[in-house]
Amino acid sequence: MLGGLALAAGSAQARDLTVVSWGGSYQDGQREIYFKPFAKELGKPVLDESWDGGYGVLQAKVKAGETNWDVVQVEAEELELGCADGIYETIDWEKLGGKDKFIPAAVHDCGVGAIVWSTVALLR
């Protein structure tokens, strides 16, 4: 899931967009497919940082006033907790073309699903 940390709208627009993901080759792919084209369209840099997850990290950043992460890839539990605790902004779905543009099960007040995976167990 992707969720955004709570930021004052003016401060987010006055600086570069910062996207935070899981790092490695996964984030390298995101940079080429999503971040660079979006930066070109936006006309200014999109910065990206990586993290290992953990709701405590998000809470500490918000408590310290370090809300420089605009879009953060989080696990579903972190999305639920952060939205309930008010550390994420809620999404204005009309600005994104409406909720119907997304897979219904992926839509959340504070985020949208970004990846789908499954685990398969095989027995012989």
Alpha carbon distance 24, 31 (integer Å): 11
Q: How confident is the model over 57-76, as pLDDT tens digits?
A: 999 999 999 989 999 999 99
pLDDT for 7-42, tens place per residue? 434 445 567 899 999 999 999 999 999 999 999 998
The Cα–Cα gap between 80 and 109 comes to 9
d(CA 108, CA 90): 9
pLDDT of residue 117: 81
Instruction: Provide, rounded to the nearest whole percent, the portion of the chain with pLDDT above 70.
Output: 89
If we measure between CA atoms, which residue out of 53, 69, 52, 57 comes closest to residue 6? 69
Long-range residue pairs from 22-28, CB within 8 A, at least 24 positions apart, any chain = 22/50, 22/51, 22/52, 22/53, 22/73, 23/50, 23/51, 23/52, 24/50
Residue 88 pLDDT class (50, 70, 90 cuts): very high
Domain range summary for the chain, segments of one domain joined by +? 2-112
CB 89 within 8 A of CB 68: no
3-state secondary structure of 15: coil
Cα 94 from Cα 81, distance rounded (Å) = 24
The pTM for the full model equals: 0.81
Domain 2-112, what architecture?
Answer: 3-Layer(aba) Sandwich (3.40)
